Structure 1
Amino acid sequence: MDKWLSIVGIGDDGIDGISPVSRTLIDRAEIIFGGDRHLAMLPGDSRLKIRWTSPIEHSIQKLLTYRGQSVCVLASGDPMCYGIGSTLARHVDLAEITIVPAPSAFSLACARLGWSLQEVETLSLCGRDPALLNAVLYPGAKILVLSADRQTPAIVQHLLKQRGLDDSEIVVLEHLGGTQERIVRGDFEHLADLNTIAITCASTPLPARIPGLPDSAYIHDGQLTKREIRAVTLSTLAPHPGQLLWDVGAGCGSIAIEWMRSDRRCRAIAIESNTDRLKLIAQNANTLGVPNLKIVAGKAPIALQDLPEPDTIFIGGGLTVPDVVETCWRSLRSGGQLVANAVTVETEAKLFYCQSQLGGELTRIAVQRAEAIGKFLGWKAMSPITQWSVTKP
């Protein structure tokens, strides 16, 4: 059982470009898994060679049936960089795996362009929603994108145009590290399927990635947590990478969206009963680069049944609905945080009661904005918010 599975990265230069260690692992394998391109690189022999199928979970389950035999998985470049290695490491103990990477497409692209990899935003659009690109756009950003196929560069170009970033520079790098390597600028009609996209983003102003986006960044029907309140609320929620948020009574989805924008590993579920607002949530999530936001149609507490356990819960609507707070509290993991905002006398009374029963902190947030009064400026007060924050023992 020791090290029965090897995962070997191969570049576009094929078997001839791999290290002696990688070659030994491939030669000793009884069973080899890989895509069509990788398996075609191998010499013909009688060993069992298995192609990945879709969905990939079926192939992984098949691979696990060979546990204890000598299995080698062929991967593109670095298997741990948006690759099959990361997936398999969630199914097989690391003590049973040998991983030998080749240079990733990102490393090779940086070498060709003279970019510093630690200063570059990286993204894969292989089997992923192109709207993810919106989350990494900012003035002057350098972005490397793994393409799904030859159509991806045109899709990226169109998305940048929609965001007013027509002046961004796009370079396509084909077959990096191989004999067919080519760098293409401008003409994206005759591309190879194997390509990486390099983007130098234009200096056009874009929403920042810190909490508290301008209200104008959202399409909404008035049910929007205003910018200043949103910034304070996200500060209280204090997202950490990988954590899951329930946004109960999500409105147009601003809290869940900015939670996910804080780190690409953050996850969120937006629960909303209004049909029109559900569409707004989806639109806003795509525009702001978090298309993987899970949207649940329904009214709490019924809609909360069977959802995965959250690390944090925000209640922005439905506080006075019977059993909403109680259901959220029961669902929250130990050590998790619940935050709720109230704007009406009735919802504020509910928070006072909850605080008396469960503890936590109450905060009053009042904001005034300067607006024109004739030829002068005057202060116009926004509705004050009472915020309750409590950590579950």
Structure 2
Amino acid sequence: MSDLAPQPWLTIVGLGEDGAEGLPPASLKALQAAEIVMGAKRHLGLLPDLTANLVEWPVPFSDGLPLLQTFRGQATVVLASGDPFWHGAGGSLLSILNKEEYRTLPAVSSVSLAAANLGWALEKTPCLGLHAAPFGRLRPLLASGQKVLCTLRDGAAVSDLGQWLDGAGFGATEVHILEALGGPRERVRAVLATEVPVDIQHPVLVGLDIKGDGPVLPLASGRPNSFFANDGQITKRPTRALTLSALAPQYGEHLWDIGGGSGSISIEWLLCGPSLSATVFEVDPTRAERIKVNAAEFGLDLTVVTGAAPAALADQLKPDAIFIGGGISDEMLHWICANVTSGTRLVANGVTLEAEMLLAAWHSRKGGDLLRFELSESKPLGRKRGWKASFPIVQWSVTL
């Protein structure tokens, strides 16, 4: 840092379970020079004697952010576990800080300690922060042979996770329970998901070596229909694969899924990557609630709006891509063209003759691609088999 640069008032110090003994000189110097040291009760208990005013971070975590801002202008240290920017407090703190206001002095992260202990290569091992997120985030990773590292809220959460894995058909998973890594209380045990003990101390991280015969979620778009609760109103698997291909999700994009049905399109959109987001619009309240349940099964953050388009579309976060799967109308298409930004991609599927005529007319007006596909499935026909055709689908895709 240049001598002419303004000195930040806040230092984020990563702290291991060995407390001050494991701190580098720069972190110790920051603590000794601090007027305020703010952190969880457990972290404050690991510190040496200091002249600073010690402030316990309140629960929930968000309540501490306005309190921290009252210390602006004073030399302040915030304590975090290990590396503050690896499933730690760093990301939350950035919501109230400018880059010039803080510096970070990380310690070895708990996942690094866990990987070293288990001999798992971090670049090949997904790492999830489940201390404040649903277990459903694990659902796409449940396949025999997959290894995963997860932070958890407390010891009781390990037992809950074991029950969740068993319920998903993966009770044979080997759970490595890693407690208080890097400190004098460190303990490492391996048990089956169905045999998690109750005497687990905080902080805890688990390594999962997934095993079991539960249903595995395919990696490609067009997941089996059985993964989505529905009342028959669902974009079927092959059509869904073609639709996701046409929508072509890209980093950081937001989707409008109009006429959500079961929510399968927006859920598969979100499964393409963690940077993606989606809003689904469904006029039927029962289906809207079912969509929320389906998204929760995968631990996904999906915004569900109950209402009819185009009225329900107003004042929503603008999309990068739009899918219309039901209730398409000339009024809806006019509203979309008048209100979304140039460059928005639109994909619309139609089954009825009226929808086909509408999409053909708009295709001649706006261009894009018009695709018609018809799928047939083998079904019993007397003592033999024959092809049972589904309704043909017309798909219009265009960049507006």
CA deviation after TM superposition for structure 1 residue 13, in Å: 1.0
User: Distance in 2 between the 1:246 and 1:162 partners?
Assistant: 32
Structure 2 partner of 1:6 = 11
8 Å contact from structure 1 (residues 329, 338) kept in 2: no
Q: Give the superposition deviation at 1:241.
A: 3.3
In the other structure, the counterpart of 2:340 is 332
Measure how far apart 1:111 and its partner are. Answer: 0.8
Q: Is the 8 A contact 2:140 2:217 kept in 1?
A: no
- In 1, the alpha carbon distance for the partners of 2:61 and 2:341 equals 31
Conserved in 2, the CA contact under 8 Å of 1:130 and 1:155? no
Q: How does 1:274-285 map to 2 (within 5 A)?
A: 274-285=284-295
The residue that corresponds to 1:29 in the other structure is: 34
| Runs of 4+ residues deviating >4 angstroms | none
Seen in structure 2, the aligned counterparts of structure 1 residues 330 and 203 have a Cα distance that, compared at 3 Å, is farther
SS in 2 for 1:317: coil
CA deviations 1:187-213 (Å, max 9, x no partner) are 421111311111111152412132100
Q: Quick one: which amino acid aligns to residue 105 of structure 1? A: S
Equivalent-residue separation in structure 2 for 1:328 and 1:77 (angstroms): 48
Aligned residue among 293, 296, 301 for 2:302: 293
Match of 2:162 in 1: 157
CA 1:89/1:159 → structure 2, altered by over 3 Å: closer, same or farther?
same
Displacement after TM superposition at 1:274 (Å): 1.3
Amino acid at match of 2:260: A
Per-residue CA deviation, residues 249-269 of structure 1 (Å, 9 max, x unaligned), is 100010011111111232222
Does 2:104 match 1:99?
Answer: yes
Structure 1 residues 369 and 145: alpha-carbon distance in aligned structure 2, compared to 1, 3 A threshold: same
Which residue of the partner structure matches residue 362 of structure 1? Answer: 370
Q: C-alpha deviations, 1:14-60, integer Å up to 9, x for none?
A: 12111111112222222222212112223444523333334544432
CA separation of 1:50 and 1:335: change in aligned 2, threshold 3 A = farther
Letter in 1 for 2:288: L
Give the Cα–Cα distance (whole angstroms) in 1 for the partners of residues 13 and 342 of structure 2.
40
Name 2:272's counterpart in structure 1: 262
Residue 391 of structure 1 corresponds to 399
Distance 1:333 1:95, change over 3 A: farther
* Counterpart-to-counterpart distance in 2, 1:112 and 1:15: 22
State the identity %.
38
Answer yes or no: is 1:52 the counterpart of 2:57: yes
Amino acid paired to 1:84? A
Alignment TM-score, normalising by the size of structure 2: 0.91
Question: What amino acid does structure 2 have at the position aligned with 1:153?
Answer: V
Q: Does 1:179 align with 2:179?
A: no
For structure 1, which segment, 335-344 or 83-92, has the greater mean C-alpha deviation from structure 2 after superposition? Answer: 83-92
CA positional deviation for 1:295 = 1.7
- Residue equivalent to 1:350: 358
1:83 is matched with: 88
Structure-2 separation of matches of 1:332 and 1:155: 44
Aligned counterpart, 2:239: 229
Which of 208, 213, 218 is equivalent to 1:208?
218
Equivalent pair of 1:135/1:290 in contact (CA under 8 Å):
no
Aligned partners of 1:30, 1:178: CA distance in 2, in Å? 27
Q: Structure 1 CA distance, aligned partners of 2:182 and 2:399?
A: 52
What stretches of structure 2 of length at least 5 have no aligned partner?
1-5
SS in 2 for 1:183: strand
Match of 2:208 in 1: 199
Q: Quick one: distance in 1 between partners of 2:70 and 2:365? A: 52
Change (3 A) 1:323 1:52: farther
Q: Which AA in structure 1 matches 2:74?
A: Q
- Name the aligned partner's letter for residue 308 of structure 2: K
The corresponding residue for 2:384 is 376
Among residues 302, 313, 318, which one is paired with 1:309 in the alignment?
318
Distance in 2 separating the partners of 1:88 and 1:226: 43
Letter of the structure 2 residue corresponding to residue 228 of structure 1: P
2:223 partner letter: L
What is the one-letter code of the residue matched to 1:18? L
Query: 1:31–1:47: 8 Å Cα contact kept in structure 2?
Result: yes
**Equivalent residue number for residue 115 of structure 1:** 120
| Match for residue 250 of structure 1 among 249, 257, 260 | 260
Give 3-state SS (helix, strand or coil) of 1:151's partner: helix
Whether the 8 Å contact between 1:313 and 1:332 is mirrored in structure 2 is no
Amino acid at match of 1:221: D
Q: Which whole-Å CA distance do the structure 2 matches of 1:358 and 1:68 have between them?
A: 57
CA gap of 1:328–1:150, structure 2 versus 1, over 3 A, is farther
Question: How far did 1:142 drift?
Answer: 0.5
Query: Cα RMSD over matched residues?
Result: 2.1
Q: Determine if contact 1:4/1:69 at 8 Å carries over to the other structure.
A: yes
Q: Secondary structure at the match of 2:30?
A: helix
